[in-house]
A and B are shown apart, each in its own frame.
Chain A
Amino acid sequence: MARLTIPEPELMRSGHAACPGCGSTLGMRYLLKGLGSDVVMTIPACCWTVIGLPFPYTVLNVPMLDTAFETTAASMSGLRAAADALGMKDVTVVGWAGDGGTADIGLQALSGMLERRTDGIYVMYDNEAYMNTGIQRSGATPFGAWTTTTPIGVAGRGKAEPKKDIMGIVAAHQPAYAATVNVAFPEDFVKKVQKAKGIHGPRFLHVLAPCPPGWRFPPEKSIDLGRLATDTNMFPLFEIEGTTYKITRKLGKAKPVSEYLKVQGRFAHMTPEEVAELQAQVDARWKRLLALEAIG
């Protein structure tokens, strides 16, 4: 039998209420494999509020505190303060929130938590829209993507704005550690989680979580799409420690963005010009990332 390439213990059980092929459940599974069980987690309104099952059931083997939509990061600061006051020294305080809950409504609390250097790991699972309420655009929705609030019509061409650069915002706070991780690369995912666990101070993980119903693709393609997202530079994999950047997956030549788009119904309407616009945005961001890495 081949050696397992990621830790075997499972801290997320079966029976959760995620859609078939949901990327975020793999994200949770790999996160907990990396962190182990000495964790207390807080989550706001998001897909996982439902995925984690209604009362009286729970699907995680670690404690989970529900909190209001905008407050994940503040809830983390409270948990950390209490853990320190109650002598729970080794517990890792974790926030697990969606892209809308982090980059839109929860951004202020996130900035506060990073600035006051709360010792915890904020994990944003990014399915690129408000999926729990049925696929409405968020700041993290990619340029051009269809959602129910960016419909396609004579006067509608999907999301008009580029995807909010959340890692850029986080980097501005000089986090102790921040990294992008992708469920299609579990080994890299778990390695970065373990690295984050070993560092004290405010840490941030940006998880790409492919979403079959939301991105309009057949559920079995979740992992393929995850790979394509990174290999087309739509979702580069990199780390930040303080102010130094390090890209953790570099291909000789990135695949064209169109390869990533064509599998997904949310991009089906895009004209060649619109695809070219998205390609230009992706190339510009990649160039900037290389430059940031070069600063060292």
Chain B
Amino acid sequence: MKSYETVEDLPDGPLAALEAVVNTGSWRTFRPVIDRAACTKCNVCWKFCPDVAISLDGEGFPVVSLEACKGCGICAEECKPGAITLVAEE
């Protein structure tokens, strides 16, 4: 994806096309930790994540991207089996 080094590279009008590289992970003060033993792979956490920070690995376990997660806590709140706990960032 072309980035804009000089003004000449800029398009005529504000056409933005670059993928987001903003690391919103630094916003959080708590991060979700998933206890795989308790996790039933029901993908509810994946479904309700506002930041698309949870992906599902080959076995169907949720994996949290620490670049994206803002620590809102919805996944922990909605996790029926209570397999997700919020841990304070150091």
A and B touch in the complex (CB under 8 A): yes
Interface residue B53 (Cβ < 8 Å from any Cβ of A): yes
Count residues of B near A (Cβ-Cβ below 8 Å).
Answer: 39
Given contacts A25-B51, A219-B74, A224-B77, A15 and B20 within 8 Å (CB-CB): yes
Q: Are B50 and A25 in contact (CB under 8 A)?
A: yes
B18-44 near A? 1/0 per residue, CB < 8 Å? 111111100110000000000011110
Q: Which residue of B lies closest to A24 (CB)?
A: B50
List of B residues within 8 angstroms of A25 by Cβ: 50-51
Q: How far is the CB of A256 from chain B (nearest CB, A)?
A: 22
Q: What's the Cα separation between A15 and B22 when bound, in Å?
A: 5
Inter-subunit contact A2/B68 (CB<8 Å): no
- Residue A6 at the B interface, CB < 8 A? yes
Complex Cα distance, B46 from A266, in Å, reads 29
Q: Is A16 an interface residue (CB 8 A)?
A: yes
Contact A223 B41 (CB under 8 A): no
Which residue of A1, A16, A17, A223 contacts B78 across the interface (Cβ within 8 Å)?
Answer: A223
B16 touches A219 (CB 8 A): no
Check A53–B4 contact: CB distance below 8 A. Answer: no
**B90 interfacial contact with A, CB 8 Å:** no
Do A14 and B67 have beta carbons less than 8 Å apart? yes
In the complex, which residues of chain A have a beta carbon less than 8 angstroms from the beta carbon of B42? 2
A59 interfacial by beta-carbon distance below 8 Å: yes
- Let me know if A57 and B21 touch, CB within 8 A: yes
Task: Give the CA-CA distance A229 to B9 in the complex, in Å.
Answer: 49
A57 to B27: give the CA distance in the assembly, Å. Answer: 19
Chain A residues whose C-beta falls within 8 Å of the C-beta of B52 in the assembled complex: 10, 12-14, 29
Given contacts A21-B72, A57-B20, contact A14 B43 (CB under 8 A): no
Candidates A22, A29, A59, A221; contact of B20 at CB < 8 Å: A59
Interface size on A, residues (CB 8 A): 36
Contact assessment for A56 and B73 in the assembled complex, using a CB-CB cutoff below 8 Å: no
B46 nearest CB across to chain A (Å):
8
- B3 and chain A: residue at smallest CB distance: A56
**A25 to B9, alpha carbons, bound, how many Å?**
31
* B80 CB to nearest A CB, Å: 11
Residues of the A chain whose Cβ atoms lie less than 8 Å from the Cβ of B23: 15
Q: Which residue of A lies closest to B1 (CB)?
A: A56
- Known contacts being A22-B50, A58-B16, is A14 close to B68, with CB within 8 Å? yes
Q: In this complex, which of A17, A59, A223 has the most chain B Cβ atoms within 10 angstroms of its Cβ?
A: A223
Contacts of A112 in B (CB 8 A): none
Please tell me if the beta carbons of A5 and B20 are within 8 angstroms of each other in the complex: no
Query: Which parts of A155-186 form the interface with B (CB within 8 Å)?
Result: 186
Q: With A20-B28, A56-B4 as given contacts, are A220 and B72 in contact (CB-CB < 8 Å)?
A: yes
Whether a CB of chain B sits under 8 angstroms from the CB of A23 is yes
* Apart from A14-B24, A23-B50: 5 A-B pairs, beta carbons within 8 A: A20-B50, A20-B72, A25-B51, A218-B73, A223-B48
Question: 30 A-B pairs, CB-CB below 8 angstroms?
Answer: A6-B47, A10-B52, A12-B52, A14-B53, A14-B65, A14-B67, A15-B19, A15-B23, A15-B24, A15-B68, A20-B27, A20-B28, A21-B73, A21-B74, A29-B50, A53-B16, A54-B16, A55-B14, A55-B16, A56-B3, A57-B16, A57-B20, A57-B21, A212-B72, A219-B72, A220-B74, A220-B76, A222-B50, A223-B74, A224-B77
